[in-house]
Chain A
Amino acid sequence: MGAAFKLDDACRQQIDEHLDSIEEVLRDAGMPRSERQNILDDVETQIVEMLSARTQGNPMVEDVKAVIAELDPPESYAAEEQGERRQEPAKAMPLVSAKKGSLHKIALVFSIGGFVLPFLLLLGGEVWPRWAVRGGAELDMWVRVVPAILSFAALQLTGLVLGAVTWRKPCGKAAAILSACSLMLAFLCFLFVFGVVAVPAEP
């Protein structure tokens, strides 16, 4: 074998056709070109070595066909490769990224919830339990106003953080902007209400 090993055009064509079929399958499975080429080089080496062992140097087309018949069909590469590609996203992606799929929606729910829940707390006085009403202004403050402020801050902060994490998604962006604006507005209101910023007196 060695230098005496020669492939004529007909043999070469048979081998190339088999390699082309494998490449097509791998390309369809989404494998990058460089990796396809690695596999094709290995298959070609194997074919030539099998031919070399079989024919002692001068293979005929029948020999090539016989060798190719011993090999896996090109379609079998698809099963292997598609299995790999299916596993890769889960393997490569950290848990947080896998959950990001719905985080942007949750962010928006928090941002909107940050308005709805305090609103319900503040305006639900009419249907509030009797003991809260009977408790007077002080108790009313603790069961309505403080929870409303806290829930507003907590929900908007959560919406802001989740929105920032999922900024690339429209819902995430909307949640981040909405929460940021409402928190700033609430902070300004707080400053005015508690007199940190003086309102100019009317003449």
Chain B
Amino acid sequence: MRAWIAQVRKGLVELCIMAALRKGEAYGYELLQALGNAEGLAITESTVYPILSRLTREGCVRVRAAPSPAGPPRRYYRLTPLGLARLRQMEEYWKDIEESTNSLIEGGSE
């Protein structure tokens, strides 16, 4: 069961991160705080930061460093046009599978 939850959560966290970035740029910890309350997703820094790093490598987000009131500079992440296009595809796919999964679950429970 835990393995299944981990698999489902993994893909969804990426979608949630990108959806949160659509509202505007945010630095890692800020994103973490915004997403941390999502029930069931258990979003923590060991999940978010590697995904942000990978999205940067893949060109889906761009990073801008800005001074922080305390400590090292904050790294602000922003969606690129490529990232936005991918987010739209992910949302579309998510809506499709959500619908069909719900109908299967509801059909099965009748």
Contacts and interface: CB of A to CB of B under 8 A. Distances in A.
B83 to A, nearest CB: 16
B94 interface: no
A39 B63 CA distance: 12
Interface string A14-32: 0000000000001000010
Given A35-B57, A38-B56, A71-B45, A45 B74 contact: yes
A49 B10 contact: no
Interface string A51-94: 11000000000000000000110001101110110000000000
B29 A42 contact: yes
Interface in B45-96: 45-47, 49-54, 56-57, 63, 68-75
Given A35-B54, A38-B52, A44 B71 contact: yes
Q: Is the interface of A mostly helix, strand, loop or mixed?
A: helix
B44 interface: yes
Contact of B71 (A26, A31, A52, A81): A52
B49 A39 contact: yes
A102 interface: no
Given A38-B53, A38-B75, A83-B10, A2 B46 contact: no
Q: Per DSSP, are chain B's interface residues mostly helix, strand or loop, or mixed?
A: helix
B45 A49 contact: no
A72 B45 contact: yes
Interface residues of A, number: 29
A88 B37 CA distance: 29
Contacts of B56: 35, 38
A49 B29 contact: yes
A43 B8 CA distance: 25
B43 to A, nearest CB: 11
A48 interface: yes
B69 A76 contact: no
B27 A45 contact: yes
Nearest to A22: B46
B44 A72 contact: yes
Interface of A: 1-2, 5, 7, 26, 31, 35, 38-39, 41-49, 51-52, 71-72, 76-77, 79-81, 83-84
20 contacts: A5-B70, A5-B71, A38-B52, A38-B53, A38-B56, A41-B75, A42-B27, A45-B68, A45-B73, A45-B75, A46-B28, A49-B68, A52-B69, A52-B71, A76-B46, A77-B46, A80-B46, A80-B50, A83-B10, A84-B54
